[in-house]
């Protein structure tokens, strides 16, 4: 069997809800290593709180099926990108990555130094 077509590709994903997570999910499904960045200050990706929810959520994660579906095969880290130390961590991650993927508001990447 051949390795996944994007195996060996590392992508940093600064994203939440909808198109961003869906796009990076496609990359992950093709073998890319996706490192999802979430903001701990606001509870992370808002999709965590959008239904439908699991009926028997034994781990009490309160994460929705929507969130789990769009974020499968991803690694995750929380960074408050409004803080300089967190931006430095992101820049170090980006230096060791092949791409940065985001679905942030138009002016926000520049404000965050991305």
Q: What is the pLDDT of residue 52?
A: 73
What fold is seen in the domain 10-111? Rossmann fold (3.40.50)
Q: What is the pLDDT of residue 2?
A: 83
**β-pairing, 99-102 with 33-38?**
unpaired
Q: What is the pLDDT of residue 59?
A: 60
Q: What is the pLDDT of residue 28?
A: 98
pLDDT less than 50: residues of the chain = none
Handedness of CA 35, 24, 99, 73 (dihedral sign): positive
pTM, two decimals, is 0.87
């Amino acid at each position: 069997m051949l390795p996944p077509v994007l195996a060996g590709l590392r992508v940093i994903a600064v994203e939440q809800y909808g198109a961003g997570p869906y796009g990076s999910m496609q990359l992950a499904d093709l073998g890319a290593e996706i490192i999802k960045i979430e903001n701990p200050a606001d509870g992370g990706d808002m999709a965590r709180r959008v239904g439908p929810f699991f009926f028997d959520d034994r781990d009490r994660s309160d994460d929705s099926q929507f969130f789990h579906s769009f974020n499968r095969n991803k690694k995750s880290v929380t960074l408050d990108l409004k803080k300089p130390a967190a931006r430095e961590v992101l820049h170090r991650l980006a230096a060791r990555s092949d791409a940065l993927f985001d679905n942030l508001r138009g002016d926000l990447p520049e404000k965050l130094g991305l």
